[in-house]
Amino acid sequence: MAANPAQRIAKWDAKFKTDRVKAILDDERPNMFMNVQAVFPQITAMELQVKQVLDGLGVSLAVYGMYLSFGRELWSMTRKEISGETAAIEADTLRKKWVDRGLTTAVLEAIRTQVFNIGAPRKKGR
């Protein structure tokens, strides 16, 4: 049976007591800060590489943000230690998504291979 509105409100109120949330964040902040210090330079370096690919291909600055988003998605995937054929398939799925949003296949493939060294997926049946 579904929870009634009063139960949902009580659970929400308990979960979002600001003093409790602050205490949790205060405890986690040192680890969060160490992670930011480690990760932000990696993201910045990846974004620079993506921009270099885009510059080399003469891509309009108007769409840089979308290509950078594609790069961030690939970066996130590689951080999860997805590699090999699985990475190729996942990268191709992301490529299709961004092509559907209006980006160019050749540019997306250049980012995939030149920045992330992920090849195209093998054809089925091989």
pLDDT digits (tens, 9 = 90+) for 98-123: 999 999 999 999 999 999 999 999 98
Confidence of residue 65 (pLDDT cuts 50, 70, 90): very high
Q: How far apart are CA 34 and CA 57, in angstroms?
A: 36
Distance of CA 96 to the CA centre of its chain: 15
* pLDDT, the chain, mean: 93
pLDDT (0 to 100) of residue 37: 96
Per-residue pLDDT of 87-101, as tens digits, reads 999 999 999 999 999
Residue 125 pLDDT more than 70?
no
Per-residue pLDDT of 39-48, as tens digits, reads 999 999 999 9
Residue 1 pLDDT more than 70?
no
pLDDT above 90 as % of the chain: 78
Residue 82, helix vs strand vs coil: coil
Indicate the domain borders of the chain: 5-115
* pTM summary value: 0.80
Contact 78, 117 (CB under 8 A): no
